[in-house]
Amino acid sequence: MSDQKEITRLSDGVKEILARLTERQKAILIALVKLFVRSAQPVSSGQLAQIFDVSSATIRNELAFLEDLAFLSKDHQASGRVPTDLAYRFFVDEIRAELKPDQDEQARAERALLGLQRELRLLMEGALRHLTKESGQASWVTVPILPDLRIRSVDFIPTADRSFLILIVTTKGNTRHRMATLDERIDASWLSYLKEQLNNYIGGRLITDVDGDEIGRIFAEVRRLPRKLIEHVTGFLDELGQGSERIYISDSRPLLAQPEFRDVTLMNAVLDVLNDHSLFNTYVRDIFGEDDLRVVIGQENVETKLTACSLVSARYKLSGAVGGTVGVIGPTRQTYDLNIPLVAVVADCLAELLRDTPFSL
């Protein structure tokens, strides 16, 4: 699977097009998206004319302009317009800054999940039920499986002038190693001092308790360390501390109820991805950039089998880089203004409930 494109906002070219839109044209586009999401039927000029209190002819002119800019497509059988992926992207970007989870949604999520945190499976199933019920879409939750690895010692074993083995020994006597090759020679005394400082800090700690900032401070104290050496050591520690993830996916029947998925070929393509848990979990991880909340719409999906879908997803963190994701997946026609806050609230609830969990993940 190729790397996910970073599309968190409209492209620069589209931003230039948006600059040409009047406020009324933007309002018409937002209203049309809301009407289509609610009804799954092409939106007529007459419907919009009633909302904006102008003539149908005026609305038709505006819709034709928006269609020329690829925000709308026309259903000739019903002589109405439907939003394109670009229109949904515009809609999400316009409303996202104003979306705030309300107290009622927070309370509903807490009621649905509170009391389940002592049993991981029940908590995940409760999260899926809540997401699916509130969104009307299929949903997923991932949870980290933390490595039970406590470090006894770190060592550096030279193998050539510019190469050495990074060796980590656990308190159970197991070993982990990585080869490191530098662009320059490194004085053995620097490695010896670095090993001493790292062992003073890391020795006896769980790998998940190793603080990256503290490791950075140790590197800063050992002068003239090659950057590649720092990257090798920090990368190795990060890799050991990440563990793995378990993904839970809801029943796919909510998707079958959507008119967009009456096409059996289309539905089977989506189910192929959802039923391959490893594939879907990898894809979910790949769609996140720096953002903790991502909305991927239609053709923005690098996975071609999902180009008829939108994913609304949020990341939650437990400690450092350790955490998981929650999200909903459905057709591009979905209630983004409800689903974005919903997913964010559930992510926050899971972070709170799992932070001091009494069971081992």
Query: Which one of 59, 81, 96 terminates a domain?
Result: 96
Q: Are β-strands 175-181 and 244-249 bridged in parallel, bridged antiparallel, or unpaired?
A: unpaired
Residue 268 lies in a domain: yes
Whether residues 156 and 226 fall in one domain? yes
Whether residues 293 and 238 fall in one domain? no
Whether residues 251 and 136 fall in one domain? yes
Whether residues 122 and 182 fall in one domain? no
CATH of the domain at 271: 3.30.450.40
Residue 7 lies in a domain: no
Per-residue pLDDT of the chain (361 residues; tens, 9 = 90+): 333 333 344 555 567 778 889 999 999 999 999 999 999 999 999 999 999 999 999 999 999 999 999 999 987 766 799 999 999 999 999 888 777 767 777 788 877 886 665 677 888 899 999 999 999 999 999 988 766 788 999 998 888 778 888 999 988 888 888 888 888 877 778 888 889 999 999 988 888 788 888 888 888 887 677 888 888 888 888 877 766 788 999 998 899 889 999 999 999 999 999 999 989 998 998 888 778 899 999 999 999 999 999 999 999 988 656 789 999 999 999 999 999 999 999 999 998 888 765 434 4
CATH of the domain at 46: 1.10.10.10
Residue 67 lies in a domain: yes
Whether residues 266 and 325 fall in one domain? yes
C-alpha span between 117 and 296 (Å, rounded): 30
Residue 46 lies in a domain: yes
Residues 6+ apart with CB under 8 A from 331: 255, 258, 260, 261, 308, 309, 310
Residue 4 lies in a domain: no
Residue 225 has what DSSP assignment? -
Residue 58 has what pLDDT?
Answer: 95
Residue 3 lies in a domain: no
CATH of the domain at 156: 3.30.390.60
| Dihedral Cα 12, 16, 22, 24, nearest 10 deg | -30
Whether residues 140 and 254 fall in one domain? yes
Whether residues 336 and 213 fall in one domain? no
Residue 44 lies in a domain: yes
Whether residues 55 and 89 fall in one domain? yes
| Dihedral Cα 275, 279, 284, 287, nearest 10 deg | -140
Whether residues 88 and 108 fall in one domain? no
Whether residues 159 and 255 fall in one domain? no
Query: Which one of 242, 269, 294 terminates a domain?
Result: 242
Whether residues 237 and 162 fall in one domain? yes
Whether residues 132 and 250 fall in one domain? yes
Looking at the structure of the chain, the number of domains it has is 3
Which bin fits 298, alpha (ψ -120 to 50), beta or left (φ > 0)?
Answer: left
Residues 6+ apart with CB under 8 A from 313: 284, 287, 288, 293, 294, 295, 296, 325, 326, 327, 328, 343
Residue 188 has what pLDDT?
Answer: 78
Residue 352 has what pLDDT?
Answer: 86
Range of the domain at 141: 103-145+244-355
Residue 4 has what pLDDT?
Answer: 32
Residue 6 lies in a domain: no
Residue 13 has what pLDDT?
Answer: 56
Is this prediction's pTM over 0.75? Answer: no
Which bin fits 329, alpha (ψ -120 to 50), beta or left (φ > 0)?
Answer: beta
Query: Which one of 242, 258, 286 terminates a domain?
Result: 242
